[in-house]
Amino acid sequence: MIKRGTKSAVATCCVACFLLIAVLSSCGRHNGGTGQAGSGGKAMDSTLVIAMLGDADYLNPVLGSTVTSGNIIGLVYPSLLQSEFDTTSGLLNYMALEKKLRDVTPGQAKKTPKGALAKRWTMSEDHKSITYILRSDAFWNDGQPVVSGDFKFSYKLYGNPVIASARQQYLAELVGADKGQVDFDKAIETPDDTTLVFRFYKPVPEHLALFHTSLTPLPAHQWKNVKPDEFRHSPINLTPLGAGPYHLKNWKQQQEIVLASSRKSNLPKPGTIPQIIFRVVPDYTVRLAQLQTGAVDVVENIKPEDFTALMRANKQIDVKTVGLRVYDYVGWSNIDQKEYRRSGRVRPHPLFGSARVRLALTQAIDREAIIDGYLKEYGVICNTDVSPSLKWAYNDRITPHAFDPAKATALLKAEGWLPGPDGILQKQGKKFSFVLYTNSGNARRNYASVIIQQNLRSVGIECKLEVEESNVFFENLQQRKLDAWMAGWSIGLEIDPLDVWGSDLKRSRFNFTGYQNPRLDQLCDLAKQKMDPTGARPYWLEYQEILHRDQPITFLYWMKETQGFSKRIEGEELNISGTFYNIDDWRLRPSANVAP
């Protein structure tokens, strides 16, 4: 009796367990979204799958700040202008339907201006206002027209401190911004639905005015009743209303974002691929495996060490690169950080205070060896923070400091650093010994740091390595607690380096080295005053010479970001402005090799 009872109880438990699991499993199923009939195989044929590291934070242009958000917002929302990157000059070009900022070298222009909301623009003589004439045939997905009022409404949101948009910097030249508060009534005028006027408190170069006034608009009629303090958590954030080539079909948070081509869109046209899925796959190895099996079509930032195996394993995979936008460097404290933190006084750093010592350090580091060993053809020696891709400003007369331990030793000797009994250089009883910090989880920097350690040891410098969790590392960097570190920067397409090199250490938040050079400040200011960017070329050439001479940091290498692509994708154009630059024009070739 007891036995039978126990058995049936166990059986009941098992059945209950199974049912519970089945119910739980299907919980996430009906999260909205109209299902697509058919098997996975059929779905794949009309679906592009992009693996991403993390989910979008917001699909709202005022708030979205992750890379994924940016990619999706670009496909869902309309934009005032279209931009294209001219690879021959390295200049960014802005286009309205009937006007271009500049003519791009023939053969380079690949982007159509048809997606622009603006028909044309006029910059005032004094460069203090810009007037856009908008097209009248642009509509949000719900059929309402896109009007100039949407822009004014959105700019107020961008500028609202309660909303804390990461793009409020774009409003920094509008009327009133110099007094701390943009005066929206004067700064943005909308005399009618198709006229939009921005007014600045100072003359602004045309390319900058275009850049700063082309923030993505939100539909005012959808958002007008949302209070600013509810903006960040409003449920409307989950159902974005756009007008671009794609619309949001389904968003399973932390899993996937499904976009479907907007059949009615005329900005510029419905997306060619019917459905694009952005899938969250946090683990790098799994992303690679999925690219290899064909479960996903695009994986960004593939490590060079994985290329050969990947392409050998699956002939249908190609690795593509974009321009040089990211570099790694070794940062040296130019000033005594302890003293600066304590008293605010600026004194040269006991080890790295002299430009000659920093030059010796650069010469002692074998940058070619790091590139050959890790990045291979995807790395280029870096001289300064002006990218070779920005050809209009790049100084190609600078020759990189060659790896030359003998010269480095001589320079160090001239600075008074002589070998001590243990082989480590000494000066007035102080050893040349320091800790080189870097952030955790970066295989490339780990690789480079070991080579740097060996290189420096061979000229008698003791370099200890320490890895810190990224958050901690960044905080220590900001608080000027590190003497030497390895990190990297991703540069903007407009050159604006004062944040990193400005002599006013309080204002230049990212001048972690404490480097100060009034001529550099002056050059940056002079360049900014030029109404045509190419006019600033001489200033940028001198700027690069100064950085090359002073070596405030050791610039290591530029990296070509490498993206893995399934060959069933056709028509893709990658360039420095992004991997998904023309994704609405991509096509999918149905292929037997694509796994269902």
Partner 1 sequence: MLSYIFKRFLIAIPLVFGVLTLTFFIIRLAPGDPAAFFIQPGISPNVAEQIRAQYGLNDPVPVQYVKWLAKVLQGDFGRSFSRAQQPVFDVIASALPITMTIALLTLVANFAFGILIGVISAIRQNTFLDRFLTVTALFFYSMPEFWFALMMIILFALKLPLFPASGLNEIGAEGFGPVEFILDRFWHLVLPVTVLSINGAAGIARYVRGSMLEVIRQDYIRTARAKGLPENIVIFRHALRNALLPVITLMGSSLPFIFSGALFIEVIFAFPGMGRVTVEAIFARDYPLIIANTFISGSLIVLGNLFADVLYAVADPRIKL
424-483 residues in contact with partner 1 (CB under 8 A) are 469-472, 474-476, 478
In 3D space, the residue among 517, 563, 524 whose CA is nearest the CA of residue 325 turns out to be 563
Residue carrying structure tokens 């060659």: 402
Among 225, 254, 399, 428, binds partner 1 (CB under 8 A): 254
Asked if residue 500 binds partner 1 (CB under 8 A), the reply is: yes
- Please pick, from the candidates 416, 492, 535, 538, the single residue that binds partner 1 as defined by CB under 8 A: 492
Cα 540 to Cα 199, 387, 528, 532, 556, distances in angstroms: 29, 11, 11, 13, 20
Contact string 77-116 vs partner 1 (x = CB under 8 A): ----------------------------------------
CB 244 within 8 A of CB 557: no
- Give SS3 for 357: helix
First to last CA, the chain: 52
Per-residue contact string for residues 125-144; x = within reach of partner 1 by CB under 8 A: --------------------
| Stretch in the footprint of partner 1 (CB under 8 A) among 12-20, 107-115, 357-365, 573-581 | 12-20
The phi and psi torsions of 232 (rounded to 5 degrees) equal -70, -30
Q: Determine which residue in the list 62, 188, 248, 277 makes contact with partner 1, applying CB under 8 A.
A: 277
Binds partner 1 by CB under 8 A, chosen from 144, 190, 255, 442: 255
57 lines the binding site for partner 1 (CB under 8 A)? yes
Q: Which is nearer to partner 1, 33 or 388 (CB)?
A: 33
Q: What is the rounded CA–CA span in Å between residue 57 and residue 75?
A: 16
525 scored as a contact of partner 1 (CB under 8 A): no
Contact between 11 and partner 1 by CB under 8 A: the answer reads no
Residue recorded with tokens 């996903």: 296
Residue 4 contacts partner 1 per CB under 8 A = no
Q: Which of 472, 446, 437 is nearest to 332 (CA)?
A: 437
For partner 1, the closer of residues 233 and 342 by Cβ is: 233
Phi, psi for 335 (deg, rounded to 5): -115, 160
Q: Give the residue with the Cβ less far from partner 1, 59 or 146.
A: 59
Q: Which of residues 146-165 bind partner 1 (CB under 8 A)?
A: 161-162, 164-165
Residue placing its CB nearer to partner 1 in the complex, 1 or 22: 22
Among 1, 4, 5, 29, binds partner 1 (CB under 8 A): 29
Q: Can you tell me which of 9, 11, 15, 21 binds partner 1, judged by CB under 8 A?
A: 21
Rounded-to-integer distance, Cα 180 and Cα 87, Å = 38
> x/- contact string, 301-320, with partner 1 (CB under 8 A)?
------------x-------
**Distance (Å, rounded) from C-alpha 501 to C-alpha 485?**
17
Residue 257, SS3 per DSSP = strand
CB atoms within 10 A of CB 350: 17
Q: Tell me: does residue 22 bind partner 1 (CB under 8 A).
A: yes
Minimum Å distance from CB 232 to partner 1?
A: 5
One residue of 4, 227, 233, 315 binding partner 1 per CB under 8 A: 233
**DSSP letter string, 450-505:** HHHHHHHHHTT-EEEEEEE-HHHHHHHHHTT--SEEEEEEE--SS--THHHH-S-T
Q: How far is the CB of 306 from partner 1 (least distance, A)?
A: 13
State the alpha helices, DSSP H only, in 96-223.
Answer: 148-159, 184-187, 206-213, 220-223
Would you give the DSSP letter of residue 575?
B
- Quick one: which of 20, 414, 443, 450 contacts partner 1 (CB under 8 A)? 20
Rounded to the nearest 5 degrees, what angle is found at the Cα of 501, between the Cα atoms of 495 and 502?
100
Residue 182 contacts partner 1 per CB under 8 A: no
- The reply to whether 225 sits near partner 1 by the rule CB under 8 A is no
Supply the minimum distance, in Å, between the C-beta of residue 120 and partner 1.
Answer: 28
Residue 569, token pair as written in the block:
């994708």
Residue 10 binds partner 1 (CB under 8 A): no
Q: Which is nearer to partner 1, 17 or 406 (CB)?
A: 17
**Which CB, 44 or 484, lies closer to partner 1?**
44
Count of other CB atoms within 10 angstroms of residue 15: 10
Least Å from the CB of residue 407 to partner 1: 33
Report the residue number, 124 or 255, with the smaller CB distance to partner 1. 255
Comparison of 113 and 271: residue with beta carbon closer to partner 1: 271
Instruction: Calculate the alpha carbon distances from 129 to 85, 123, 359 in Å.
Output: 25, 6, 46
Q: Please list, in sequence order, all residues whose beta carbon lies within 8 angstroms of the beta carbon of residue 567, skipping any fewer than 6 positions away.
A: 315, 316, 317, 318, 589, 591
The window from 51-59, 356-364, 400-408, 411-419 that contacts partner 1 (CB under 8 A) reads 51-59
Q: Whole-angstrom Cα distance, residue 121 to residue 131?
A: 5
Least distance in Å: CB of 409 to partner 1?
Answer: 36
CA dihedral 66, 387, 582, 52 (to 10 degrees): -30
Query: Nearest approach, Cβ of 110 to partner 1 (angstroms)?
Result: 26
Q: How far is the CB of 194 from partner 1 (least distance, A)?
A: 31
Q: Which of 7, 8, 11, 65 binds partner 1 (CB under 8 A)?
A: 65
**Candidate segments 121-129, 148-156, 232-240, 332-340, binder of partner 1 by CB under 8 A:** 232-240
